[in-house]
């Protein structure tokens, strides 16, 4: 694969492993589906690789209206009447254009395409050719590849990709970048540096892990939040970042990108209010806003001045925003959440200090290291094992499931254990369901009833 030209750095931040896998798959003649939530850089990743290898890209937007004729092409009726069914009367669709040119056919929203249209691709993926009635066989050029992209978390208007198609393509799964990479992306997109970027990225990432949220915001929410937040402060003539301004910007930038979990009766705005109260306590002093753009970020990005709004107080944007979530909170959120989201190795390493020892390489789970972690802290080890079961790494996820079936956690007794056997239910004054009839019989009259008058 050709290297990037000097002075033209790759626009991709993070995703090094995924980028290498996709590049090698295309180089070796494989067709690929890129799977991941919105905002993870699927199309950007492909276009960057195509630019570096000098390959053209034919774009197709997948939807329910994409018929086989629109994908392959069709005869022009007026030309057929004038000249008959000759090759000149046929208008190539995106599939034939990509095949003839040896280009990359990039299909977005792959799982929104009707099954009859996807079936057209089976022969193309296997034999690199397609036979069109009255036109004949069309052979794909040397560099033709199918690259599809889809969001597996969106079930509205989507369909399952058949096994016949899945068996003919490789699958590359993209997850969200880690926090440093998202801060770098936000700085590059907004031209703003400093702790206001930390605030935007931290709040955006928090929406993905909230117990009542099925799908949180992508990094595009961080970018919009920084731009709206600094712009509103400038418009209102504020020298410090006021909480109402932060709330207004968060509502506009993030509420439309948050999807509440099914069965949860609350609004995206209420989730943002809760996160703002948690991440930015009311007693925190308001940060000062400074003029200018650029500046150095946390990871050493080039600096040419102060950020436009880059002075949040340390308690608001530094230690407080970056504090790790407790193991108990993670278990509570996981138990109450209906969303299933994979967790990258970078996220696992950030959440668990023992992760590197337990899984030193991709796909490996060191059971002896986990046993040591279990002896050192059973609760932390239990949380780690639960998080490993949602790892993006498929082999590690499978190993965690196998290990979980053999691991026994001794739980402490929180209360007196009930005795076993058949017993008779009787009245009493302990915790339990209220026996209304007996309570009325014992009630002496004054309100409220005395404690010894409540029968359970």
Spell out a b/e string for 365-388, using b for 16 or more CB atoms within 10 Å of the CB, else e: beeebbeebbeeeeebbbbbbbbb
* Cβ-based neighbour number of residue 155 at 10 Å: 10
Residues sharing a CB contact under 8 Å with residue 40, sequence separation 6 or more, in sequence order: 15, 174, 175, 176, 177, 218
- Give yes or no for a contact between 341 and 216, defined as CB atoms under 8 angstroms apart: no
pLDDT digits (tens, 9 = 90+) for 212-256: 888 889 899 999 999 999 999 889 888 777 888 999 999 999 999
**CA 99 from chain center: how many Å?**
33
Q: Which two tokens stand for residue 7?
A: 């002075």
Closest to 145 in 3D by CA, of 60, 55, 26, 2:
26
Residues sharing a CB contact under 8 Å with residue 338, sequence separation 6 or more, in sequence order: 214, 261, 262, 263, 264
Residues sharing a CB contact under 8 Å with residue 84, sequence separation 6 or more, in sequence order: none
The C-alpha atoms of residue 357 and residue 391 are separated, in whole angstroms, by 16
Lowest mean pLDDT among 198-202, 287-291, 354-358, 409-413: 409-413
> What are the structural domains, with CATH classification, of the chain?
16-173 (3.40.50.300), 179-318 (1.10.8.80), 342-404 (no CATH), 430-456 (no CATH)
pLDDT digits (tens, 9 = 90+) for 104-130: 999 888 888 888 888 889 989 988 899
Which DSSP category does 430 fall into? S
Cβ-based burial of 186 (10 A; exposed 0-12, middle 13-18, buried ≥19)? buried
How high is the mean pLDDT of the chain?
A: 77
pLDDT score of 153? 67
């Amino acid at each position: 694969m050709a290297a990037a030209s000097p002075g033209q750095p790759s626009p991709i931040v993070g995703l090094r492993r995924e980028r290498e896998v996709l590049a090698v798959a295309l180089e070796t003649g494989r067709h690929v589906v890129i799977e991941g939530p919105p905002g993870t850089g699927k199309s950007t990743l492909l276009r960057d690789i195509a630019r570096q290898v000098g390959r053209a890209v034919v774009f197709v937007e997948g939807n329910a209206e994409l018929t086989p004729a629109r994908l392959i092409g069709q005869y022009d009726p007026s030309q057929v009447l004038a000249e008959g069914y000759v090759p000149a009367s046929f208008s190539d669709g995106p599939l034939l254009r990509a095949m003839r040119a040896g280009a990359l056919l990039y299909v977005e929203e792959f799982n929104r395409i009707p099954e009859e249209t996807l079936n057209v691709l089976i022969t193309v993926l296997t034999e690199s050719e397609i036979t069109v009635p009255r036109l004949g066989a069309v052979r794909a050029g040397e560099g033709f590849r199918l690259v599809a992209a889809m969001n597996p978390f969106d079930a509205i208007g989507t369909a399952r990709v058949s096994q016949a198609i899945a068996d003919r393509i490789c699958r590359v799964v993209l997850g969200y970048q880690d926090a440093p990479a998202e801060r770098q992306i936000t700085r590059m997109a907004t031209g703003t540096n400093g702790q206001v970027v930390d605030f935007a990225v931290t709040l955006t990432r928090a929406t993905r892990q909230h117990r009542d949220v099925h799908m949180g915001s992508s990094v595009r929410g961080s970018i919009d939040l920084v731009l709206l937040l600094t712009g509103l402060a400038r418009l209102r003539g504020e020298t410090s970042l006021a909480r109402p301004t932060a709330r207004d910007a968060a509502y506009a930038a993030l509420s439309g990108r948050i999807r509440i979990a099914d069965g949860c009766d609350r609004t995206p705005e209420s989730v943002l209010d809760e996160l703002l109260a948690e991440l930015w306590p009311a007693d925190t002093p308001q940060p000062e806003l400074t003029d200018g753009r650029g500046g150095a970020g946390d990871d050493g990005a080039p600096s040419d001045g102060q950020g436009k709004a880059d002075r949040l107080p340390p308690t608001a944007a530094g230690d407080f925003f970056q504090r790790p979530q407790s193991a108990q909170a993670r278990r509570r959120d996981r138990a109450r959440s209906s969303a299933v989201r994979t967790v990258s190795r970078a996220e696992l390493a950030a959440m668990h200090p023992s992760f590197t020892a337990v899984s030193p390489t991709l796909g490996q789970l060191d059971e002896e290291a986990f046993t040591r972690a279990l002896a050192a802290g059973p609760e932390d080890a239990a949380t780690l094992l639960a998080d490993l079961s949602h790892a993006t790494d498929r082999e590690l996820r499978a190993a965690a499931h196998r290990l979980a079936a053999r691991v026994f956690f001794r739980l402490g007794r929180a209360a007196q254990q009930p005795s076993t056997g058949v017993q008779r239910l009787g009245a009493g004054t302990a915790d339990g369901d209220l026996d209304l009839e007996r309570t009325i019989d014992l009630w002496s009259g004054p309100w409220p009833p005395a404690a010894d008058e409540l029968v359970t």
